[in-house]
Amino acid sequence: MNLPRSLIIGGFLFAVFLLAAILSFVWTPYDVEVLNIAAKLRPPGATHWFGTDHFGRDIFSMIMVGARTSIAVAIVAVGIGIGLGVPLGLWAAANHRSWLDEVIMRGNDLVFAFPSLVIAILITAVFGPSAINAIIAIGIFNIPVFARISRGGALSIWTLDYILSARVVGKGTLRISAEHILPNIANLLIVQGTIQFSLGILAEAALSYVGLGAQPPTPSWGRMLADSQTMISFAPHLALFPGFAILLTVLGLNLMGDGLRDILDPKIRRLRQ
Amino acid sequence: MLRFAATRLISLSLSLLAASVVIFAVIEVIPGDPASFMLGLNAEPDTVMALRDQLGLNGSILSRYLSWIGGMLSGDFGTSYTYRVPVSELILARIWISLPLAIYALLLSTLIAFPVGLIAAARRGKASDIGIMASTQLGIAVPNFWFAMLLVLVFAINLRWFSAGGFPGWDQGFWLGLKSLTLPAIALALPQASILARIMRSSLLDTLDQDYIRTARAKGLSRRQTITRHALRNAMIPVLTIIGMQFSFLLAGAIIIENVFFLPGLGRLIFQGITQRDLIVVESVVMLLVFAVISVTFLVDLAYAMADPRLRRRK
């Protein structure tokens, strides 16, 4: 099977950052928590590939560890969305047109109506700025996204003949949802998951930029950008590298999402052939 | 139509009610007592109690909620703990930065997205289409606050065309005010314009596949005439939805962007409120933003139903 080009490019971009994040657990060129004022604000060069910040910390190493923060926050936030949203959506679809369906979907509408970033700011502000609270704040808004998409996908499958046969055999709602519906909406969930993942990276960056994400000394891309802001006129490299890291990771995930949709969505797949 | 408007209005009120309960509940669990925070560590307990009384913090949760809601409905947003002035005054002073900024960005985003989406759709598969689609991918992936910093670096620090931040005030002249909102508005608009241009393109392409477009072509209209007279109007429905939704992103995004440009808008007010434990300011501003977003969604729904009778019947 020939893969769509967007999937290859996007997958490559994301893989670079994912590998950097994993590698950072065992190795970084320099220790990101050790300050070296003598080497502060070095421009990019042979000893420090991306230069150093105002505390003399190596930017390249900080980007590697920052990748870990960003990816971890976004993955868990997507996990919250899938873990809670998908069961809710399946439950609503299995009880289509009942009060339960109505309550779940109206609740979803409500969360959708909130300006998510404002509420995320509120949540992190109330419970204290930390990576965990950023995850919760971002994750909450993933729940209705996955609930809606799995309900929509499930509703169309519930009308099919093989579901009727499953019922005749005596399978209950729960088993049908788990054994027949879920595998059939997995494609939708994978594509949506990639999109929410990239939105999560952007949201984490925005929250840590305003100081409500991961706290120092844990490096995070948003925090690095916030720190660089006052020094941008004489040390622009401080702002360039973390920004490009966010841009390329998000771009990679978005391209991957497009490519996966091309492969996994039967309607688009037929068009391509 | 009236019935449609009425049911939408009921669901609008229910959403607002639920939103107010959620915001109030979240603020209630904030650790730290604003009265003791304001008076400092050495305050006598009875002074703290007296201040709590004055701030109306001693009533039951229900009575505090009701007085908050009742006050807001009559335009009284309470008194800021730290500024000691009515919150409505604080909001009024700052909304004239945040709101124009969001509207300015929405205009820019629409003005960029329309022609770009139109060109991409009209030249489907050609080099210009591919180029536009690639740049919109970049536009969507750019964090807007980083883009804002780059704009400052290029246009304020290097070229000196704009100031790097701050706001002179509208009383210094409309154009000066507008100029200082220009870089923030561009930073906010670019990612939204990229999304909008893609929606515009795909919506136009969907419409161009319809039978009535073939009919229009068959009766002798040129490609350009078909697009402007028939396709464009029908392609607008999904585009309008997104524009409505973008208003909410722009208002929220303005909060972050205001930080980059040191604009004294609602975003700065929220962050000051958070650091100073000025809860009444935080909950009122957040409630106001939610109200604005939910109302815009309501108006967009209503505008559709007026434009397209089919939508009225569906509900």
Measured between CA atoms, the residue of chain A closest to residue B283 is: A122
Nearest 5 degrees, angle CA A252-CA A255-CA A261?
A: 140
- Rounded to a whole number of angstroms, the distance from the CA of A29 to the nearest CA of chain B is 26
* A149 phi-psi bin (left φ>0, alpha ψ -120 to 50, beta other): alpha
User: For A226, what's the count of Cα atoms within 13 Å in the CB-facing half-sphere?
Assistant: 22
- Rounded to a whole number of angstroms, the distance from the CA of A234 to the nearest CA of chain B is 10
Q: List all residues 6 or more positions away from A29 whose beta carbon is below 8 Å from its beta carbon.
A: A48, A49, A58, A60, A61
- Rounded to a whole number of angstroms, the distance from the CA of B153 to the nearest CA of chain A is 7
User: For A223, what's the count of Cα atoms within 13 Å in the CB-facing half-sphere?
Assistant: 22
Q: Is B303 on the interface with A (CB under 8 A)?
A: no
**CB neighbours of residue A6 within 10 Å:** 19
Amino acid at A157: I
Query: Would you give the DSSP letter of residue B219?
Result: T
CATH number of the domain at A109, please: 1.10.3720.10
Q: Is A174 on the interface with B (CB under 8 A)?
A: no
pTM score, whole prediction = 0.87
Tell me the residue length of chain B.
315
Nearest CB to B141 within list A119, A126, A247:
A247
Residue among B15, B149, B202 with most chain A CBs within 10 A, to mutate: B149
What pLDDT shows up at residue A189? 92
Nearest CB to B255 within list A118, A222, A247:
A118
- Rounded to a whole number of angstroms, the distance from the CA of B255 to the nearest CA of chain A is 8
Q: Which fold has domain B91-314?
A: MetI-like fold (1.10.3720)
Q: Is A8 on the interface with B (CB under 8 A)?
A: no
CB contact (8 A) between residue B259 and residue A209: yes
Per-residue pLDDT of chain B (315 residues; tens, 9 = 90+): 778 788 888 878 888 888 888 888 877 766 667 677 667 777 778 887 777 777 667 777 888 888 888 888 888 887 887 788 888 888 888 889 998 999 999 999 999 999 999 899 888 889 999 999 999 999 999 999 999 999 999 998 889 898 888 888 888 888 888 888 999 999 999 999 999 999 989 888 888 888 888 888 888 888 888 888 788 877 877 787 788 778 877 887 888 899 889 899 988 888 888 777 777 888 888 888 888 888 887 888 787 777 666 666 644
**CB neighbours of residue B92 within 10 Å:** 11
Question: Number of structural domains, chain A?
Answer: 1
Contacts of B7 in chain A (CB under 8 A): none
Specify the range with the lowest mean pLDDT, choosing from A31-40, A250-259, B196-205.
A31-40
Residue A31 lies inside a defined structural domain of this protein: no
Tell me how far apart the alpha carbons of residues B120 and B135 are, in angstroms, rounded to a whole number: 12
Contacts of A198 in chain B (CB under 8 A): 141
pLDDT at A11 over 90: yes
User: For A40, what's the count of Cα atoms within 13 Å in the CB-facing half-sphere?
Assistant: 9
Domain range list for chain B:
91-314
- Rounded to a whole number of angstroms, the distance from the CA of B114 to the nearest CA of chain A is 22
Domain span holding position A107: 5-26+36-272
Q: Are B136 and B197 in contact (CB under 8 A)?
A: yes
Higher pLDDT, A149 or B297: A149
Q: Is B274 on the interface with A (CB under 8 A)?
A: yes
What pLDDT shows up at residue B28? 74
What pLDDT shows up at residue B164? 82
Closest by Cα among B150, B153, B195 to A246: B150
Q: Is B17 on the interface with A (CB under 8 A)?
A: no
Residue A52 pairs in a beta bridge with A58
Tell me the residue length of chain A.
273
Amino acid at B260: V
